[in-house]
A and B are shown apart, each in its own frame.
Chain A
Amino acid sequence: GENVEQHPSTLSVQEGDSAVIKCTYSDSASNYFPWYKQELGKRPQLIIDIRSNVGEKKDQRIAVTLNKTTKHFSLHITETQPEDSAVYFCAARGGATNKLIFGTGTLLAVQP
């Protein structure tokens, strides 16, 4: 089945710096890669997603990249703000089971 690895598990940056979170997936048939943000004590919420027919997608300060050859995808946050502090999850869906499998999460702390 699908396996999604995510790094780093924790990331601390200064306000205004960029943050990058990286994920890899195992199932080459996976075709949908969302990113979820979970603030402390809250529910996970979708912030951006990318499909396998696209290599990059941007929405204001966040962008995702996907490399199907290496089975890597990444989340980039520019000009980080304290309100970006949260746990971020990558996920991959596709293949035979069509299940959405989450990565292990990255705790991002933006220091003011």
Chain B
Amino acid sequence: DTAVSQTPKYLVTQMGNDKSIKCEQNLGHDTMYWYKQDSKKFLKIMFSYNNKELIINETVPNRFSPKSPDKAHLNLHINSLELGDSAVYFCASSPIGENEKLFFGSGTQLSVL
């Protein structure tokens, strides 16, 4: 079983559209994240949720809205997609406490045309 799974793996869409990426973890972790990796491979944190509560919200445009229906799920909805949103989006989870290892999903390659 995949520990952190995200769908879809590839997402190709037109500018102006609205799209969602789903993420689920079966590790029992309390904390989940969204990271964006651009074409230069920079990994930048976007959001972090702890047990359904938003704890980190970086300077991300408000077109990006995370939603956590329960602590095993963290979805990312993006409104009015722009060319600059093209990137790989990684979901990740980690347990609370000293063991802070991040477990990443396989990534979603978003291409905005």
Known contacts A43-B106, A43-B107: does B44 contact A100 (CB below 8 Å)?
A: no
**Interface flags, A78-111, vs B, CB<8A=1, else 0:** 0000000001010001000101111011010000
| Residues of B with C-beta under 8 A to A26 | none
Q: Of B16-24, B74-82, B97-105, which binds chain A?
A: B97-105
* Min C-beta distance of A90 to chain B, whole Å: 11
| Residues of A with C-beta under 8 A to B105 | 43
| Residues of B with C-beta under 8 A to A105 | 41-43
The answer, among A87, A100, A104, for a CB contact under 8 Å with B45, is A100
**What is the interface size of chain B, counting residues whose CB is below 8 A from a CB of the partner?**
16
Contact B104 A43 (CB under 8 A): yes
Q: Of A13-21, A44-52, A64-72, which binds chain B?
A: A44-52
Contact B101 A46 (CB under 8 A): yes
Contact B104 A99 (CB under 8 A): no
| Residues of A with C-beta under 8 A to B104 | 43-45
- Among B70-113, those with CB < 8 Å from A are 90, 100-102, 104-107
Contact A104 B56 (CB under 8 A): no
Contact B90 A43 (CB under 8 A): yes
| Residues of A with C-beta under 8 A to B90 | 43-44
| Residues of B with C-beta under 8 A to A89 | 43
| Residues of B with C-beta under 8 A to A43 | 90, 104-107
B48 is an interface residue with CB less than 8 A from chain A? yes
- Among A25-51, those with CB < 8 Å from B are 32, 34, 36, 38, 42-46, 49
Rounded to whole angstroms, the CA-CA distance of A104 and B42 in the bound complex is: 5
Pick 25 A–B contacts, CB within 8 A, sort by A: A34-B100, A34-B101, A34-B102, A36-B102, A38-B41, A42-B106, A43-B90, A43-B105, A44-B43, A44-B104, A46-B101, A46-B102, A49-B101, A87-B41, A89-B43, A93-B100, A97-B56, A99-B48, A100-B100, A102-B44, A104-B42, A105-B41, A105-B42, A105-B43, A107-B41
Where the two chains meet, the residues of A that have a C-beta atom closer than 8 Å to any C-beta of B are 32, 34, 36, 38, 42-46, 49, 87, 89, 93, 97, 99-102, 104-105, 107
